[in-house]
Structure formats: structure tokens, C-alpha cells
Structure 1
């Protein structure tokens, strides 16, 4: 993998900001370092790297150091709150956070607040003792697959700051991928954790809908999920343990899991039936992307899975998805005064005006497509335990653009054909790095499971990571980092 820096033997001498959450907690437990020193290292990394990346819209250094000091005292007294205690964590600027503005990339929100309530995932992180270092960037109302907003500008990629980090959780992915903290929380309504994970060489899972509670309810409704963004599968499982579970504010939240997602993570995939679909039957891939994903499928086969190249025989649901998506976006504006649409991202405005103002019949027709897609995928998973695809058919493109140069469409759905179908079906879907192209940009492998089969998805991701993957950290102040 061109230019990759394997760190498996570097942990003792590594910068603390580049360690995983599990490595940090091990250091706290042994007394090798403290949450305070780790948090200072992360804040230093933000100061060094964020000017080039623009991953953060707000850094709360004083608040983070106060939280780290409290965590340090808990570890010293032998009373840590759990495996997230003292871990520096960033929150996508879509999720409410007490005392910190949640601006959502728009000029329509006044940062003055007040900000008195945490979203469920933020509340769970506080209860677990995590150190909240700041809020990460998102496009306006998290509406598209690249991270730029008219209020905060564009976010670059740790592998090359001149290309996009993807979106809409691009700030979170850029932070994690560049060593500005070990993990983050993002949201995903059509690919928004998986797109940037693929583009930045990081790991994520969009859990089964309802496993991670959301409040306030997303305007995109039951398309929207929240999930962990990390540099290792074990960290993703550990963070999912923290943020999953019932919250009375979310009417659709599932019960709190009784078993840790870390349990069985190392058990392998021997005998699993895995369908490999390079295009879902309707996409088209960059040749290097397809080559790397095929190689990843071969790794899983070598690990004992029964891998068969087969398509799920579904039609591209993009038209129905866009009706649901832009109807949700249109509802966002209903809570603002008349004229708000004149102040938003011009392409978002176009989407609302052309696709988000249809009839109730149009919406119900789109829901019918969604329900049928869910039925088809349910039947598919009776024959196959997992489905693997490229996460993205392309690698990251020029920062500030809505689509690659020369692309036939400016809509983000035109270059993300493998992500949004699984928001419609509410299935768990992970993205794990599976190599870099000759241009030095990461590629992601998507692993999709049946609804509620999140643990199996994580186990397959860990199997691949252990057998064929590498962990990447790309600090942008390293002159050799971009290639």
C-alpha cells in the first residue's frame, strides 16, 4: 500500500494523538500516561493540522482539559467510568451538545443559543467519561456527500488536503484520519459516515436503524443513523457499546444491547456465506477501486468464508431516495422565517425546489419502493450472511467541487450508488480501508449485513483488518503524508 505507515510496532514511541482509543485506555490503566497528556497531544495535533484541513468548526480546549483532569483523577484513584473514560472525542456539528453551539453549517442558526441539552449519543459519552474536544464540520444540514458549507467552508482530506474528505461527516473523518483524536461520532442518512471513511482510509459502521438513538429527530426521518468513526474495528465496536441503547426521547430506539459488540469480534468468518457484488448490478467503478475490492474479497475467502460473486438483483432506488431526501430537506426550512431558502446552499435550494415539493402520492410511491427494496434484501440475506461491495466507486476528488471534474451530474447521489440503498433498508453497513491507489488515495470495502446483524458485520470487518488491512494515520504536517 503506497506510502502507508504501519504503526503496529510503534505504539510506545508514537504520538499520543495517533493512538487508538484502546491503546490510550491501556496507557491510562498502566500509568504510562494520563488523559490530560493525551488530550494535550490531541489539542496540539488540532493546532498543527486543522488549518490545512478545516475539520473543526469549534474546539473547546478549556472544557476538554477540565474533563481530562477529572478523568485523570478517576484513573489515579482506580475508579474509571469505563473504556471511554478520558478518550478525546469529537462530535459532528449536527448533534446537540450542552454549552457548545450546534450550527449545522448554516447561517440560519444563531450560535448564541442557549444550548442546554445533549443529544443521546453526547449524553452517553459524557456519562462514560469521554473528553469532548469540539464539534466537527458538516455541509449545511448534513445534506450532501462532500463537506463544505456556506458558513464554514470546505474540509480537506488527510491524505491530500487539496481533495475532499467526503461527507457529510467529513470533518469527523478528517479529524480521526489525521490523528486529531482517536474516534468521533458522525451521522449517516445516505452514506455520510461511509463516504468519508472510504475517502480518508478510516473505519466506520452505520448501525441498524434505531440501535443508536437520535434526538431531535432527523428531518430525514428513518433514513438517518448515527455511528462511530474510528481508526480500528475494535474502537468502532467499543464506541458503539457506549452510544447504543434506548433513550426515551427517540420513539424508534431499540433496547440497550445486552452483549458487548467486542464479544466474538476475533472469532473469524469461517463458513460465512458472503456475496460479492462489485456494482450492485447498476454501478460502474474506477478500475483501481474494483481491483482493490476484488483483492479484499479474496482475503475474506482465504479466511474461510464462502465468497460468491453475485448481484442482489435490485434496481437503483435513487429516484425514490431523492424524493424522501429532499422532502426531508424541505421540512428543515419550515421552521425558519419566510425567505430562508434564499440563504441556503444554492444546490440544496435547487434540490428542494425540484424534488422536495411533490405530492403525498409521490412520497408514498417512494415509500413503496423503499419497502420493496427492504423485502428484496431480506430475502437476499436468507441465502447470504453478508454482502460486500466497494464503499465508493471512485476515490476522493478535488476539494470544493460537488462531483469529480467532468462528471455528468452535480448531485452527490450520482457518485455514491452503493451507500444510500442501505439507508432505505436500514441495514448495518461498515466501511473498512482496503488499500490505496497508485495516486496514493484510500479505497473502502463496504460490508453489509441483515438488519440487527451488526455484530457479524463488525466481525467480518475485523477479520479483514487483521488479515489484509492496515491502519492509517496521516498527519498533514508530515511532508510525506499526502502521498
Structure 2
């Protein structure tokens, strides 16, 4: 650990080493996080629930295990936050909605990801914010208000895992677990200058099943790729409650990164800056081009490609908004102006009014688009190991807006063209920092996305780690 660093800025890998050597105790690390949350969370609004008593208790138990040489693994004693879409025993899961009440449930069940974190000895600090039911690409809700970007509090943190990204970027949580149904891990990771990974669908089990079906993934949000791999190993594995869950991996991703990986000789990389239909801000384009240059310098064979895709947003909308309509229907008639629509996010009500009434034929047509896209990507990965795109076409825009102020569309998908296609295909995709955009006078992070073939999560992690090692990120500290 750098002497100039405080413990809350250490990575999970650094904390594990410090706990093992006795240089740090989980108790002092958790105390420092809790103190920082007290000071900074009112401005950032990343946490919607903090349980200092439980965190301190769990930190003390972890410290005792480390003293006795019985640590449960590399996350034992590491502070973690949980997106408020995951069931967490002892804490209400209110999903950013006024339609839910803490008294509605006894809250006795852990989602698989939460259970795995507890089993690994991680210290759960609390729950972090989400837009209502995780429906959009920024994080504000009727229940919790606006979550802000630690790099500039007038900018959005992105979403829907914006609370997770803001907590990690602000040093209020070493790690966080988020969900991604259309970019909800990768968008806020890009905006907040951290690492966010959407694994292959089924790699991290989900329970209860997401209303967004097989679009929805769970995954790690961290400050380094190495931490991402360690956390993925903890979260991955079979859970009988998720009928899509993959078998527990026999090889650890962290071990893959433990071997020499900086040399990318033989790695075949395709580069599509727009997927055929996107448009990037100039600095995002320059930063992504610079990433490509680094990959080439590391020995990768980089090939610019023109995919000439048509935007599949219409098919995505059918699948996505069919899910959210089902969620809202459970609370009453969504068209009833005196009912549920008075309590929900106005933007959500308007979006459902634009995207509703889909038929079974519509759903099957959208599924056909999804299948064709999956076939095309499968064919692409016969020739290329990884596809590179920008993570988002812009840096973070004004907080409190669903879309940039100059947007011609009210749909959040209009400014996230590079994320939702890979929810349709279920592929692994990671976002890592690519630099900054200071064109607006404030330096804001930008991100690059690496996409791999299904079940080739380790290849994606390897390329991301090689790039990160070659260009150490200056985006590690969003708010001091």
C-alpha cells in the first residue's frame, strides 16, 4: 500500500495482502469507510441504507479469522456495497420505488450474489441506489432522489447501478455488486471511471428471476481488473434457485490473470467505433483510438471492421418494456392516473406509455432479431477473440436528466448504443477507463468496452488487464 493512500482507496487485492501481513485490520478499514460515508454520502447520495453496527460486527469477526490464520478467502474483510435490487437478509429491498414498503416482507432471504459475498467473509456496508426497478441508464428515483457523479456532482453517475459506481469511485466501498440488463453496470462504470463487468449470461446466478428475463446479468464493479476477477470468482457458480445458472467454474479467473498476460501476441481484436449506427463525442473517439494503439503495441492483431448494423433498439424495447409493464401491473392499472402512475418515476410512466401493448408476435419478432444478432456475433468470434467499442459515446451529462439535454429522443437507449446489444446476445463485456473528456471544462472519465464470445469471460478479462497494466489508470480517485 502506498504510504500516501488511506485504507479506503486500497484495492481488494491490496487489502487482502495487508490483512495477511497484519499491516491493516478489517476493523480500521471498515471504520474508515463508515466515516467517509458519513461525510460524503449526503452529497453523492450513493447509499440508501448503511448498517454500521452489522458492518462493524462482521469486520471484527473477519479480523479474528485473519489473526487465527483462518481467512475465508481474498474477500474476507473487504468492504462491499449491494445494489438495492438484490434481496439481502435483514435489510429491505425497495428498488428505488415508493410502491414498496419495508413492512411488506420479513426480508429473510439473500440473493445468490449476496449469499456468496457473506460466505467469502466480505463486509457488507449497506445498500446502494438504483432508479426505480432499475429501469433506466441514470440513477434517480422517487424514493431516493438523485445519485451524483463523484467527479463532478452536477453530473449523473449513470445507471442503473449508479449507486454502486458512485460508491466505488468515491472511495465509499472497495467493491460493489450490480446488475446489468442493458448496460447498467457498464454505463455507470464508464461515467465514474471504474471497472464494470457483465459476465456471460448465467455465470452469476440470480434469484428471484429478473422481470427482464434473460437480458439481466449480475456482476462486479471494482477499481481494477484484478479485483474484478477475484470478485467474479466469488460470485460465480451454480445455484439451484436460478434455472439458467451455469455450473461452477473449474478454473478461477484470478488465476488466469496471475500468469503473464501483458503480451497480447496472437490475440485477434476487432475494432468497431460505432457498431454502424452510433456517433461519438470527439474526445471519446480519440480516447478509444488511443486504447487501440496500446493494444497493438502489446502485440494484438487489431482490425478495424464495419459492422453496418441497424440499431436493434426497437427489439430491445419490446423485451425490456414488456418486463417493466409486468412489474407495474402487479401494483395496479398503470393507466390509472389516480393509482400507481402518481407514485412512480414520471419518466417511467411516460416510457411505458410510449412502449406498451406488445403482442406475442411482437415478442417473437424481437426474439428473432436477438437470435440473428447472436448468430452474427458467434460468427465474428470465429475470426476475432474480442470486439472493442467505446463504452458510451459521451462522458457523463447533467444529473437529474434521463437523456442528455440536446437529445432528440426521450429513450435512455438513444445515448447508450454500445451496451444493450450485448445483453441481447448474453456475451461477456467489460468497461475500463480510457481517459478523460475535459471539453466542458471539467475532466470527466470515459470508458472503453471489450466484448468476448459467450463463455470466454477470461479472454475479456485478460485483454482488459493487459491494457490496464500498460496504462495505469489515473481515474482511481473520484472524490477525496
Same fold (TM over 0.5): yes
Preserved contact between residue 314 and residue 373 of structure 1 (Cα < 8 Å): no
Alignment correspondent of 1:400: 400
In structure 2, distance between residues paired with 1:395 and 1:154: 18
Please name the residue that 2:126 is paired with. 134
* 1:267 matched to 2:270: no
Gaps of at least 5 residues in structure 1 are 1-9, 479-483
Aligned 1:239-278 pairs, distance under 5 A: 239-265=231-257, 266-268=260-262, 269-278=264-273
Q: Is the Cα–Cα contact under 8 Å of residues 434 and 469 in structure 1 kept in the other structure?
A: no
Contact 1:292 1:434 in 2 (8 A): yes
The residue aligned with 1:473 is 476
Determine which of 309, 313, 323 is the counterpart of 1:318: 313
Unaligned runs of 5+ in 2: 334-338
* TM-score normalised over the length of structure 1: 0.95
Q: CA deviation at 1:469?
A: 3.5
Q: Once the 2 structures are TM-superposed, how far is the Cα of residue 185 of structure 1 from its aligned partner?
A: 0.2
For residues 125-182 of structure 1, the C-alpha deviation after alignment (integer angstroms, 9 at most, x for no partner) is 0111110000000000000000000111011111111100000000000000011121
Q: Deviations over 1:328-387 (max 9, x none)?
A: 001112322443244211221222233132111111111111111111111111111100
Q: Secondary structure at the match of 1:91?
A: strand
Say yes or no: does 1:50 pair with 2:50: no
Please give the residue correspondences for 1:8-157 in structure 2 after superposition, counting only pairs within 5 Å.
11-112=2-103, 113-157=105-149
Aligned to 2:285: 290
Q: In the comparison of the two structures, how many residue pairs are matched?
A: 468
Contact 1:59–1:133 (Cα < 8 Å) also in 2: yes
Asked if structure 1 preserves the Cα contact closer than 8 Å seen for 2:18 and 2:24, the reply is yes
RMSD: 1.1
Matched, 1:222 2:217: no
8 Å CA contact 2:445, 2:475 repeated in 1: no
8 Å Cα contact 1:275-1:311 kept in structure 2: no
* 1:162 to 2:190 alignment: no
Distance 2:416 2:112 in 1: 28
Shift of 1:14: 1.2
Q: Is the 8 A contact 2:347 2:402 kept in 1?
A: no
> Distance in 1 between the 2:229 and 2:375 partners?
28
> Is the 2:277–2:308 contact (alpha carbons within 8 Å) kept by the matching residues of 1?
no
Structure 1: distance between partners of 2:294 and 2:139: 32
Offset from partner CA, 1:243-281 (integer Å, 9 cap, x none): 010000000000001111012224232111100111011
Within the alignment, does 1:210 sit opposite 2:184 as a pair?
Answer: no
Correspondence for 1:184: 176
Aligned to 1:410: 410
8 Å CA contact 1:435, 1:469 repeated in 2: no
The separation in 1 between residues aligned to 2:474 and 2:126, in whole angstroms, is: 24
Q: CA deviation at 1:201?
A: 0.4
| Contact persistence 1:312–1:377 (CA under 8 A) | no
SS of residue paired to 1:264: helix
Could you tell me which residue of structure 1 aligns to residue 436 of structure 2?
Answer: 436
Distance in 2 separating the partners of 1:11 and 1:250? 42
- Alpha-carbon distance in 1 for matches of 2:3, 2:22: 13
- 2:456 counterpart residue number: 453
Question: What secondary structure, in the 3-state scheme, does the structure 1 residue paired with 2:253 have?
Answer: coil
2:418, 2:87 → 1: CA distance? Answer: 29
Instruction: Tell me, in whole angstroms, the C-alpha distance in 1 between the residues paired with 2:461 and 2:33.
Output: 27
Scaled by the length of structure 2, the TM-score of the pair is: 0.96
Aligned residue for 1:445, secondary structure, equals: strand
CA contact (8 A) 2:137 2:158 kept: yes
Q: How far apart, in 1, do the equivalents of 2:273 and 2:39 lie?
A: 39
2:191 to 193, 199, 206: 199
Kept in 1, the 8 Å contact 2:183–2:420? The answer is: yes
Which residue does 1:361 correspond to in 2? 361
Q: Counterparts of 1:301 and 1:179 in 2: how far apart (Å)? A: 33
Native 8 Å contact 1:208 1:426 kept in 2: yes
Residues 433, 469 of structure 1: 8 Å contact kept: no
Q: CA deviation at 1:202?
A: 0.1
Q: CA offsets, 1:276-332, max 9 Å, x none?
A: 111011100000100000000100010000001113343210000011000000111
| Aligned-partner SS, 1:322 | helix
* 8 Å Cα contact 1:193/1:204 also seen in 2: yes
The residue that corresponds to 1:462 in the other structure is 465
Local SS of the residue matching 1:380: helix
On the 8 A contact 2:136/2:160 being kept in 1, the answer is: yes
SS in 1 for 2:255: coil
Question: Is the contact between residue 241 and residue 260 of structure 1 (CA under 8 Å) also seen in structure 2?
Answer: yes
